[in-house]
Structure 1
Amino acid sequence: MNEPRPGFKTSTRMPFPPARVAVSLLFLMNGFLIGSWAPKIPEFAERLDLTESRLGMMLFVFGVGSLVMMPIAGGQLARFGTRRVCQVTTLLFLPALLAVTYANSLTSAVVALFLFGGLTGAMDVAMNANAVEVERSMAKSIMSSCHAFWSLGGLIGAGLGGYLIATLGVVLHALIATALAAMAVLLAWPKIMTDQPHAEDDAPKARLPRTLLPWLIGIVALFGMVPEGAVLDWGAIYLRDELAAPLSHSGLAFAAFALTMAIMRFAGDWVRDRLGAVRTLRICAAFSLVGLLMAGLAPNTVVALIGFALTGIGLSNVVPIAFSAGGNLPGLARGVGLSVVTTFGYAGILFAPSLIGFIAEHSSLSAVYTGLAACIIVIFAFSHLARYADRET
């Protein structure tokens, strides 16, 4: 008989308790609204008469909103508990898509996008913190599957959104998407795990941490998300411009990456519970390293797609493990370590693609993907910190 892995207690509880279902629904809902925003971007730019450069600045505002409000949400977790912060941020985020849809001036659009990005970031911190609490209560990993539900929600939102916008228009699309998201929230609401703030989580400890641990784990999340943003925003251009792929095949770069990532995120919890977070992270980093080098040095489209698929396998569980580790750091008020890690991570996916564009303009995307292997070497160097993701309940 197999012995239980150190760091987790055995549990006889049901595999899908209500709290796990609830937090999965929150991830699904958040991803769904973000996915619903993607097909609205062309109409948004046309409505406000935005050039490409101005649209880029507007999307930058979205990222700034996230980075501003993530630490604020993290600071409230120790004071109010993850359930309360989840509920408040979810309710505030719910009408954000409508606000962007009805923005009819540059000023109102800036405010709406800042709040859209800020509230999705705040909700992201809160639901990740709640997922950490559910992990503790279940004594098993669930973070990877939660992120898989976010990816699934994004795919549904983007796919359904394009059809609804084409057939019903942008306003009805926003109303329907918001109504569907509200249904998910109603289902999740009574089942969100209740946790009480700890008396020892006093105000001084809720400040920015002075220990290096959350910052180092944040670097792991950052260097896990930078390659993800590079594939998302530049993969199609790489295939088209540097590997002479036809236009119909250029989108396959992110498709290959996203497919393997989603599959492995649903399998990631099972793998982590058996191998441990440190070993799982190192295996994932190895796949990422091989995948990025294969994609960057690819002589043709087929080899590049295999490389992107391997990269998706590798990066699938880097961020969930980093988030679990950040949420379990000892000696910190709940949410503080996690907010640092999430802020670092999302900075990578929000801001690195623009820097990559500047580098690619002066060299090539092939050199960029090959060079991004250096990020994975850093993840290897800090992989021992993933042990905090295995902290005993």
Structure 2
Amino acid sequence: MSILHAITLSRRTLPAFAAEGIFWGAFASYTPQLKDSIGADDGTWGLVLLVSAIGSISAMWFAPRFDARLGRMAMAVACLWIGLAFQLPMWTTSLVLFTAAMLLAGSSAGLLDVVMNARLSAIEAKTGRSLMNLNHATFSFAYGSSALFAGLLRDAGTAPQTTFGLLGALALLLAAAARQRELPPRAPGAPEPPRRISLPPVAYWGGAIVLIGFLCEQATEAWSALHIERTLGGGAAEGAIGPAMLGFTMCVGRLGGQFATARVSEARLTTLAALVSASGAALAALAPTPPVAYLGFGVLGLGLSVICPMVFALVGRLSAPEQRPAVISRAAVIGYSGFFIGPPFLGALSEAAGLRAAFLAVALLLALAPLLLIPLRTAAKTAEATAAAR
């Protein structure tokens, strides 16, 4: 499948992935300034991010019902919500108000994440094409570009309110592009999605792997700029290169993964990616200078890039169509627990032993991730054998 054909199939979901990327990228670059503005130490900042993760997870629980109720407008509305919610933390220096605002920002990101991944999984199932890597590459490119753009603005003294205001205007355009004209609205009287549904084990095994991937991705997004500026003595622009490097290399890795899936199974590619990303995290942790840290974050991004999209694709492929939104939602909820666990864990570890130890812990987790792939590999082989027997 050509990349242009993949873009055509993803023309409604790509803007949604970009919308999420631009806000998290800018937030990563402004992290040192925002952290200082509310007077938070590492442990407190970790708790702030924990609250944001709680918002994400809470929103994910009702995302399938939100998706079903709004129909073709769901992604557009979710894009508008994230564009609004990320404005709120920029307008306060109160720790309490900032934390409350991050709860709303996190909820907007969690809602959009489930809706766009569920819609994309449905397109994959309908067309038989692998599109996850392309769409997640778009998130990474948007994240990296936004991180670099915001870092330059921050270095020039631009207030976060101005930067995020510009991104909010861009979110309006992305929301318009994300409206799914070809998806019919929910028919009057159509049954509501069941409140309780029995999900297959792949939702939970997949969620556990996504948990590690999201934990490590969030760790790098949230702490890489601080690691470069504080541990290695870099400036604001140098610090912004850390998350930008992650975003750009994840974009490259995911585009490569888009083509690799034609030759390599999702499970095998995920195993290799976990080991590569573990080596990158270790290099960043032990880096003596910012350029070496950039290299480490780059290798980390290349490996980390395909873990979550590949697992989402595998989980979606192994799920029945009527269960797919709920399965993706459950895997995402479990996965976003990485955001729930990661910030306080890394904050506490940084308080006790420094950010080098925190990134070494990231490397260890990634090295252990392939063990969780064993049940998914077994389920995939069973599904292939069943399909071949028909």
Q: For this structure pair, what is the TM-score category when the shorter chain's length is used for normalisation?
A: 0.7 to 0.9
Name which of 333, 337, 341 aligns with 1:351. Answer: 341
- 2:50 alignment counterpart: 60
Name the amino acid aligned to 1:185: A
Distance 1:258 1:161, change over 3 A: closer
Contact 1:325 1:385 in 2 (8 A): no
Name the amino acid aligned to 1:381: I
Q: How does 1:1-393 map to 2 (within 5 A)?
A: 15-16=5-6, 18-41=8-31, 44=34, 49-52=38-41, 54-77=44-67, 79-80=68-69, 83-103=72-92, 108-164=97-153, 166=156, 169-189=159-179, 191=181, 193=183, 203-204=193-194, 206-207=195-196, 209-234=198-223, 247=234, 257-292=246-281, 308-331=297-320, 333-359=323-349, 361=352, 365=357, 368-369=361-362, 371-384=364-377, 387=380
Deviation at 1:140, TM superposition (A): 1.1
Partner secondary structure for residue 338 of structure 1: helix
Contact 2:76 2:178 in 1 (8 A): no
Name the amino acid aligned to 1:60: L
Distance 1:247 1:152, change over 3 A: same
Contact 1:19 1:191 in 2 (8 A): no
Deviation at 1:329, TM superposition (A): 3.9
Contact 1:201 1:333 in 2 (8 A): no
Return the TM-score normalized by structure 1: 0.77
Return the TM-score normalized by structure 2: 0.78
Contact 2:316 2:328 in 1 (8 A): yes
- 1:42 and 1:293 mapped to 2: Cα distance? 23
Deviation at 1:76, TM superposition (A): 3.9
- 2:329 and 2:314 mapped to 1: Cα distance? 12
- 1:385 and 1:228 mapped to 2: Cα distance? 27
- 1:362 and 1:179 mapped to 2: Cα distance? 41
Deviation at 1:148, TM superposition (A): 1.2
Deviation at 1:42, TM superposition (A): 5.5
Contact 1:214 1:337 in 2 (8 A): yes
Name the amino acid aligned to 2:368: C
Deviation at 1:264, TM superposition (A): 1.0
- 2:346 and 2:159 mapped to 1: Cα distance? 34
Unpaired segments of 5 or more residues in structure 2? Answer: none
Root mean square deviation of aligned Cα: 4.0
Superimposed CA distance per residue, residues 174-217 of structure 1 (whole angstroms, 9 cap, x where no aligned partner): 332211111122233255755869x998744x525453220111
| Structure 1, 84-93 or 301-310: larger mean CA deviation | 301-310
Contact 1:261 1:315 in 2 (8 A): yes
Contact 1:296 1:368 in 2 (8 A): no
